[in-house]
Amino acid sequence: MDANQQIVLDNLSVRYRGEDEAALKEISLTAKTGQIIGIIGNSRSGKTTLCDVLSGIIPNIVSGHVSGTVRLGEFSPFEAFDEYNFHTGVVLQNTAGQLSGLSDTVFDEIAFGLINQGMSEEEASKSVVRAACQMGLEDLLEQAPDTLSGGQTQRLAIASEIAFDPEFLIMDDPTSQMDPVGRREFFEWLAGCSEKTIFIVSNEVDDLCEIADQLWVLEKGELIASGKPLDVINQVAEGHDLYLPVVYRMAKEFGKKLPSGLFPVKLSELKGCFDDQN
């Protein structure tokens, strides 16, 4: 595989200043770019730390002792960070804190970074409308950002990043405040993304199994599984205190397995198991 089409984490470890135990411990894996990668795990498993490393926040903005290698295609957050940052979009856990606080309208907030990077007003306007439509904000462009709900604020933070059309998008729990409809629409949008490399931390394991190309599972700072959702969920189902998809639990309850001998994790897979019995 061309190195420019690879995601490489090699022996990645992170230790915060003043902490005895590493937040991430010798994580190594290789994957293709252009995929949706879901990152799951329980509290304090290292998910946010991994996002902060992938985004370059650690060690460029937040200090921490980092060892090992991280490469997204031809770029590394440890080398030429300004160039790396140009190719990446980041949605933090605290999306409200990510907004500029200087904009009077949703339109101006999405346009803020574009104008600051020297984009013309005409091109910026096109990018704003495109991103707003993707996040369902087209009817809120003249509304003040501080009047939005929590879920709408998360949509705004996402729109502000995808307006740049980044090659890599890193999102840390971007749907935590969205209502069920908003969350469903977000994952439908995510499923339609193509060619981008997207890393998403989420507790919505059911949704991730439906749309992710890969799952990475963290536990106490260690990578315990990575690969296709079907393989990963069946691998970690026993012996780990993790939320398991409803589809997997239903299939196990009814004893429905795929020809591979694995329990399904997608609704279409589960339906196929029942159809095969008819």
What rounded mean pLDDT belongs to the chain?
94
Let me know: does 110 contact 131? Beta carbons within 8 Å: yes
Q: What is the mean pLDDT of residues 141-159?
A: 96
In a domain, 252, yes or no: no
Question: Can you tell me which residue has the tokens 């090699």?
Answer: 10
Using CA atoms, how far residue 249 sits from 227, 235, 264, in Å, is 20, 14, 9
2 has pLDDT over 80: no
What are the phi and psi torsion angles at 108 (to 5°)?
-65, -35
Q: In which band, very low, low, confident or very high, does the pLDDT at 276 lie, cut at 50, 70 and 90?
A: low
Nearest to 92 by CA among 6, 32, 43, 156: 156
Flag whether 4 is in a domain. Answer: yes
Beta bridge partners of 88: 168
Identify whether residues 157 and 176 lie together within a single domain: no
Tell me, yes or no, whether 51 and 34 share the same domain: yes
Q: Flag whether 258 is in a domain.
A: no
Please indicate, yes or no, whether residues 19 and 81 belong to a single structural domain of this protein: yes
Residues 82 and 173 in one domain: yes
Q: Based on the fold, state whether residues 12 and 147 are members of the same structural domain.
A: no
User: Is 239 part of any domain?
Assistant: no
Residues 106 and 130 in one domain: yes
- Cα separations (Å) of 82 from 59, 60, 67? 13, 10, 20
- Please indicate, yes or no, whether residues 62 and 180 belong to a single structural domain of this protein: yes
Give residue 94's pLDDT. Answer: 87
Phi and psi, residue 172, nearest 5°:
-105, 100
Domain of residue 219: give its range: 1-87+167-229
> For 68-119, how does the pLDDT look when each residue is reduced to its tens digit (9 = 90+)?
999 999 999 999 999 999 999 999 988 878 899 999 999 999 999 999 999 9
Residues 6+ apart with CB under 8 A from 206: 245, 246, 247
Query: Encoding tokens for residue 103?
Result: 């904009």
Query: Over the stretch 33-56, which tens digit does the pLDDT of each residue have?
Result: 999 999 999 999 999 999 999 999
Residues 176-199 pLDDT 10s: 999 999 999 999 999 999 889 999
Q: Is the pTM of this model over 0.85?
A: yes
Secondary structure E strands in the chain: 6-15, 24-32, 36-40, 65-72, 88-91, 168-172, 197-201, 214-219, 222-227
